[in-house]
Amino acid sequence: MSEWPIRVILAQPRGFCAGVERAIDIVERALALYGPPVYVRHEIVHNGHVVEGLRARGARFVDEVDEIPNGAVTIFSAHGVSMAVETMARARDLRVIDATCPLVTKVHREGRRYAANGFDVILIGHKGHAEVDGTIGQIGGTVHLVSSVADVMDLRPCDPDRVAYVTQTTLSVDDAHEIIKALVARFPRIVGPHVNDICYATQNRQVAVRELAQRVDVVLVVGAANSSNSNRLREIGAGMGKPCYLIGDAGAIDTAWFDGVSSVGITAGASAPEVLVSGVVDHLASLRPIRLETLSGVIENVRFRLPYELDPNRVA
């Protein structure tokens, strides 16, 4: 490749959010306190590098709680679980530590409140995503899942005047806004949170990648293929008319992407560790001289409390 320098710009913010940091911290503290093995239902967060690192330290990841020995220390992932999973865990006398992101828990509470007041609840989200499955299973009552404006037209609530909506936390803010507009147009009396109730970290990263795409020739999004928020970042970058690639790590880079390119932007999904971003930067530096800079942007200072069982003020 050419030896002329390439400008590499990092998005701000990028990478881990407070909910992900909390979830990983929960697994690490549980391993230190109780010793391995500690069982985790599903991936603690959607990133294979994080999962493998915790597995090496003694975490065991399972698909369902019936794979866990009775009485074992068990952690629910950041995406949340259904009430049926909670019931099954109690039946097996599992020592559960809940790593559900507090912002996901907030959606659960809102949905249950609407359902308890006799509303059909519309969940805006992606079918099959762990957070969506958990939220549907937490709300109870009648829940309708919509993923697009087209889905809105197929809705048949019990009472069109008693309809409410909640949202998956990792949606595209723009897509969610369009779906909410369609819901309001069809059900004028619908109630629900403002689109700004979508996770602060999701919004901040989407704003940052939009600015990033305006300044560079190519955008790289570091994140896992099954990470909803990482996929939304790639879609936004591509929607800005720039080649935008979702990569798990530096090993997924194709050098042909940078032929004739003078600038590359890098961001990372909320479950992607900064070490992977550093690896991408180092890889680019091995191909061509780079000029590295970081966009100005939101500095996130959000922190969520740990569960009572792992509170450092309580546990020696």
- Residues recognised as catalytic: 131
Residue carrying structure tokens 């609840």: 121
Sign of torsion, CA 177 182 184 190? negative
User: What is the rounded CA–CA span in Å between residue 196 and residue 174?
Assistant: 11
Q: What is the CA radius of gyration of the chain?
A: 21
Alpha helix ranges (H) inside the chain: 18-34, 48-56, 83-91, 102-116, 130-139, 149-152, 173-186, 200-213, 228-239, 274-287
DSSP 173-212: HHHHHHHHHHHHHH-TT-B---GGGS-HHHHHHHHHHHHH
3-state secondary structure of 158: coil
Whether the Cβ atoms of residue 302 and residue 22 lie closer than 8 Å to each other? no
DSSP 285-308: HHHS-EEEEE----------PPPG
